Amino acid sequence: MLRIAIQAKGRLNEESIALLAEAGITVEEGKRKLLTRSADFDVEVLYLRDDDIPQAVAMGVADLGIVGLNEVEEKEQRVEIIHPLGFGKCRLSIAVPKSEDYADVRWLEGKRVATSYPVILRHFLDEKGVKAEIHEIAGSVEIAPVVGMADAIFDIVSSGATLITNGLREVETVLKSEAVMIAHPALAGDKKKLLAQLLFRLEAVERSRGLKYVLMNLPDERIAAATAVLPGMKSPTVLPLALPGWSSFHVVIREKELWTKIEQLKSLGAEDILVLSLEKMIR
Ligand code: PRT
Ligand code: ZN
């Protein structure tokens, strides 16, 4: 049995559940308690505040956790970061009132910086040799300069809209973050086995991202030319149609080159092109 801690509610909750579901681990949302057992994989899901996930995993209360890299770095708990998950992307940045003439980090010398991430900020300032006062506040960090509580802030930025609304300008990006899978550093053998199985499934899901399965009807004499345009993974699959002289041509395409490739295939005589989404790719 593997116990995975995920955020109970908040920005990472839905995507964490969706990711587990894609890996074949479904948890009943309706009856959600602190702890839910998955019906289809030897896994239990523990719902926590994101702040508590690194510690829960370090203590072994949970074997794995899904949490923002920002929380992992801030809490400095002994956990292993085993896999980036590609969602919850954001950055931890320093921002100053936009009227300030900020040239470089020396501007921060002797200033007051408000943040909910004092540990990461302390490391950054020490590394840069800057002495500034860190004011730890729990929420609404972005209003601290307006109300005169701080000269600058250090906070999570995603689109940057919150900074703009509060008359702030991002001046230093300190950490790029996304949701990551973390693990207890000393998992027992049977748990390691389950983890390997889970990672294998997640990789199959990831590999299929941005890929489409395309099939079309093609005159037989155009198969070689179409294969040159779209070599596929090993080679395209070609199946005869009941209509003599025609084949069905199947191949996997990257979504970003879908339209250019389809135009080339159409000019080669491809007809009745179907584009299907690809759910998993297992190697
Ligand atoms: O209750 P709990 O403690 O579990 O949740 P929480 O309120 O501490 O965290 P939550 O749900 O807000 O965020 C969870 C995680 O999502 C964070 O730790 C980050 O890893 C990640 N994440 C991704 C973000 C954002 N994007 C984000 N935009 N977390 C917060 N924000 C905030 C940001 O602080 C800003 O104030 O959203 C606001 C809007 O951002 P802009 O730049 O798009 O305007
Ligand atoms: Zn939190």
pLDDT, one tens digit per residue, over 162-194 is 999 999 999 999 999 999 999 999 999 999 999
Q: Are 108 and 88 in contact (CB under 8 A)?
A: no
Confidence of residue 31 (pLDDT cuts 50, 70, 90): low
Nearby residues of 242 by Cβ (< 8 Å), 6 or more positions away: none
Q: Does residue 56 surpass a pLDDT of 90?
A: yes
DSSP annotation string for 101-127: ---SGGGGTT-EEEES-HHHHHHHHHH
Mean pLDDT of all residues in the chain?
94
For ligand 1, whether the C-beta of 88 sits within 6 Å is: yes
Confidence of residue 6 (pLDDT cuts 50, 70, 90): very high
Question: What is the model's pLDDT at position 32?
Answer: 65
Confidence of residue 244 (pLDDT cuts 50, 70, 90): very high
Question: What is the model's pLDDT at position 40?
Answer: 85
Name the residue with the closest Cα to ligand 1, atom 32.
156
Q: Does residue 83 surpass a pLDDT of 80?
A: yes
Q: At what angle do helices 13-22 and 189-207 cross, to 10 degrees?
A: 90
Question: What is the model's pLDDT at position 233?
Answer: 81
Q: Are 35 and 5 in contact (CB under 8 A)?
A: no
Structure tokens at 138: 């729990």
For ligand 1, whether the C-beta of 155 sits within 6 Å is: yes
Instruction: Report the run of H or E that residue 265 belongs to, with start and end.
Output: helix 258-267
Could you give the residue ranges of the DSSP H alpha helices within 166-222? 189-207
Question: What is the model's pLDDT at position 30?
Answer: 56
Q: pLDDT tens for residues 119-163?
A: 999 999 999 999 999 999 998 999 999 999 999 999 999 999 999
Residue range 108-126: mean pLDDT, rounded? 98
Name the residue with the closest Cα to ligand 1, atom 28.
158
Best mutation site among 70, 93, 156 for ligand 1 pocket (most ligand atoms within 8 Å of CB): 156
Structure tokens at 258: 């879908």
Q: Are 278 and 206 in contact (CB under 8 A)?
A: no
Q: Does residue 281 surpass a pLDDT of 90?
A: no
17-25: long-range contacts at Cβ-Cβ below 8 A with a sequence spacing of 24 or more? 19/66, 19/85, 19/87, 19/202, 19/205, 20/45, 22/201, 22/202, 22/205, 22/280, 23/198, 23/201, 23/202, 23/205, 24/201, 25/198
Best mutation site among 158, 170, 174, 178 for ligand 1 pocket (most ligand atoms within 8 Å of CB): 158
For ligand 1, whether the C-beta of 14 sits within 6 Å is: no
For 16-30, 67-81, 102-116, 219-233, which range has the lowest pLDDT when averaged over its residues?
16-30
Best mutation site among 14, 50, 91 for ligand 1 pocket (most ligand atoms within 8 Å of CB): 50
> pLDDT > 70: what percent of the chain?
99
CA of 222 to the centre of ligand 2 (A): 58
Question: What is the model's pLDDT at position 250?
Answer: 96
> pLDDT > 90: what percent of the chain?
86
Residue range 225-249: mean pLDDT, rounded? 93
**Which position has the higher pLDDT, 178 or 209?**
178
Question: What is the model's pLDDT at position 28?
Answer: 74
CA of 39 to the centre of ligand 1 (A): 31
